[in-house]
């Protein structure tokens, strides 16, 4: 006879298989598929996703969860099974509160909005996207209302990406960070020693960039036995189970940063998924616990490791073997300054570490205001430009380089942006903690040795998957909740040295 927990796991395993299958179809879409595949693939994905959803919110699942809840009553609340039931129950209640009419409206309106957003961005004309944005915000307000009572209508949206997090927490941390980053960027750009990054813009053969990137991510611990790398227009990480976690990357023959830091970033995401305990496979616990925690892993490898001088003491000599004509004369100090050049970029995805969070805080403020109705969608471009000027001292030249640059809102993603900044903050909090446990980490990195770092991350973060909510996990590891202090200390130390402030 199967126990209630075994029965629940069997049902959840089938839902997981469907999600992995959809992920595989999507991976193929972005990596291999000819243009003609778009139409049948959209139908295949819609079918699989609908079946996965229907299975998850089915009456059978509801009963299985109820029985499992009773069965885990006697278990340690911290056991895998008790946590699995708790997380499944949370996700289930969230999904059944959303009426299927809303889901249908949402997918129809966002599918249409995406095309109109592309057109609007191409023509740099917000008015084309405006009526669609208005519908999307309206739908998002309705969505929030399915989860009343709430402290703020933004909270139910944020919870989808950052379980348990409240917008008030995010706001108070951002409020501490904002004036500090505005002032740091101003000082860098107005008083700093100019940085020359010409060396990064020479011609770098793509195959050699690929080979160098593969050497680096093998060294840091990305496991090619349980993953693979391909090329795609937008880099991403996808999982078909703990033992098959794939990444993609892209190349710019005239800019070295694109591939190397993109590759490190995706490998950081993938190593999180590869490090989850195999016992959790095919359950809702078999994934990183939140987007913010995920981003802390990708950014740790990309920035705290990859954009450090210590790292390049080990890897600049290797880069010189791949590209003797381009970099043989550069020293590690100049190379380090070049890869960390700070600029007033209008575009978020091109932003450096010093400016990045400002792009996020701008979007967070505007989203919060739209959700409570204090900012009307028609006034969004003006509000964007004003805020941008306040943060960066300049105004975007047009909507394409301003309010229309990101795909997120056209896809209905509201509440998603903060997770990028949370990733930066969490990474720095973990980084300080890691250095307490591994006092000679910098010396290890200089020797291209990452075993202890990866082992630490596996033990404290990766293995748990989604067993703990993100802030609970952060608290277990660092003894505190979300904080801006460590990130501010990191930025200040790093950029005051680079810019001689
Ligand atoms: Zn990422």
Domain boundaries for CATH 1.10.1370.30 within the chain: 167-498
Ligand 1 centre distance from Cα of residue 284 (Å): 20
- 211 CB neighbour count, 10 Å cutoff: 12
Active site residue 266: yes
User: How far is it, in rounded angstroms, from Cα 132 to Cα 154?
Assistant: 20
Which pLDDT does position 42 carry in this prediction?
A: 85
Flag residues of the chain having pLDDT under 70. Answer: none
Q: What angle do CA 144, 282, 96 make, to 5 degrees?
A: 25
Which pLDDT does position 117 carry in this prediction?
A: 95
Q: Which of 266, 295, 367, 483 is catalytic?
A: 266
Q: pLDDT tens digit string along 411-456?
A: 999 999 999 999 999 999 999 999 999 999 999 999 999 999 999 9
144 phi/psi in degrees, rounded to 5: -60, -40
Ligand 1 centre distance from Cα of residue 346 (Å): 19
Which pLDDT does position 271 carry in this prediction?
A: 98
Average pLDDT for the chain: 96
Ligand 1 centre distance from Cα of residue 291 (Å): 8
Q: pLDDT tens digit string along 200-237?
A: 999 999 999 999 999 999 999 999 999 999 999 889 99
Which pLDDT does position 68 carry in this prediction?
A: 96
Ligand 1 centre distance from Cα of residue 492 (Å): 23
- Report DSSP state, residue 435: H
User: How far is it, in rounded angstroms, from Cα 45 to Cα 402?
Assistant: 32
Which pLDDT does position 100 carry in this prediction?
A: 86
Structure tokens at 376: 């009307």
Which pLDDT does position 104 carry in this prediction?
A: 86
User: How far is it, in rounded angstroms, from Cα 398 to Cα 378?
Assistant: 16
Q: pLDDT tens digit string along 376-403?
A: 999 999 999 999 999 999 999 999 999 9
CATH of domain 167-498: 1.10.1370.30
Contact 352, 322 (CB under 8 A): no
Q: Provide the terminal-to-terminal Cα distance of the chain, rounded to the nearest Å.
A: 70
Which pLDDT does position 355 carry in this prediction?
A: 97
pTM value? 0.96
Ligand 1 centre distance from Cα of residue 238 (Å): 11
Which pLDDT does position 391 carry in this prediction?
A: 95
Can you tell me whether residue 393 is helix, strand or coil?
coil
| Torsion over CA: 467, 470, 473, 475 (sign) | negative
Which pLDDT does position 345 carry in this prediction?
A: 93
Strands 229-231 and 245-249, sheet pairing: parallel
């Amino acid at each position: 006879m199967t126990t209630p927990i075994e029965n629940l796991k069997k049902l959840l395993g089938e839902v997981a298989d469907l999600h992995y299958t959809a992920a595989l179809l999507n991976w193929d879409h972005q990596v291999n598929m000819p243009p003609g595949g778009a139409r049948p693939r959209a139908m295949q994905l819609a079918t699989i996703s609908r079946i996965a959803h229907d299975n998850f919110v089915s009456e059978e699942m509801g009963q299985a969860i109820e029985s499992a809840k009773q069965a885990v009553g006697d278990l340690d609340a911290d056991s895998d099974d008790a946590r699995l039931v708790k997380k499944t129950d949370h996700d289930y209640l969230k999904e059944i509160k959303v009426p299927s009419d809303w889901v249908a409206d949402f997918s129809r309106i966002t599918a249409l909005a995406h095309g109109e957003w592309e057109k609007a961005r191409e023509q740099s004309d917000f008015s084309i996207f405006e009526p669609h944005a208005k519908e999307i915000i309206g739908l998002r307000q309705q969505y929030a209302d399915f989860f009343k009572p709430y402290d703020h209508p933004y909270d139910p949206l944020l919870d989808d990406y950052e379980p348990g997090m409240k917008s008030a927490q995010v706001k108070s941390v951002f409020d501490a960070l904002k004036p500090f980053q505005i002032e740091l960027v101003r000082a860098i750009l107005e008083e700093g020693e100019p940085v020359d990054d010409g060396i990064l813009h020479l011609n770098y053969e793509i195959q050699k960039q690929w080979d160098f990137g593969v050497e680096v991510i093998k060294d840091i611990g990305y496991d090619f036995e349980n993953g693979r790398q391909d090329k795609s227009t937008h880099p991403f990480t996808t999982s078909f189970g703990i033992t098959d976690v794939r990444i993609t990357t892209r190349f710019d023959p005239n800019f070295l940063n694109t591939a190397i830091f993109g590759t490190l970033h995706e490998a950081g995401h993938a190593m999180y998924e590869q490090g989850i305990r195999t016992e959790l496979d095919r359950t809702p616990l078999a994934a990183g616990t939140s987007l913010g925690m995920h981003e802390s892993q990708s950014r740790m490898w990309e920035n705290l490791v990859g954009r450090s001088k210590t790292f390049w003491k080990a890897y600049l000599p290797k880069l010189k073997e791949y590209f003797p004509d381009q970099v043989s004369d550069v020293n590690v100090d100049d190379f380090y300054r070049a890869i960390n050049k700070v600029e007033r970029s209008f575009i978020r995805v091109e932003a450096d570490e010093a400016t990045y969070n400002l792009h996020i805080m701008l979007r967070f403020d505007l989203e919060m205001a739209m959700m409570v109705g204090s900012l009307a969608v028609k006034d969004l471009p003006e509000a964007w430009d004003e805020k941008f000027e306040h943060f960066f001292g300049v105004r975007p030249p047009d909507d394409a380089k301003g309010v229309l640059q990101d795909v997120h809102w056209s896809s209905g993603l509201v509440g998603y942006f903060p997770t990028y900044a949370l990733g930066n903050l969490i990474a720095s909090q973990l980084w300080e903690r890691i250095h307490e446990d591994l006092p000679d980490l910098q010396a290890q990195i200089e020797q291209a040795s990452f075993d202890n770092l990866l082992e630490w991350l596996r033990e404290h973060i990766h293995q748990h998957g989604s067993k703990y909510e993100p802030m609970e996990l952060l608290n277990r590891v660092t003894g505190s909740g979300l904080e801006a202090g460590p990130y501010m200390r990191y930025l200040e130390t790093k950029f005051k040295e680079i810019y001689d402030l």
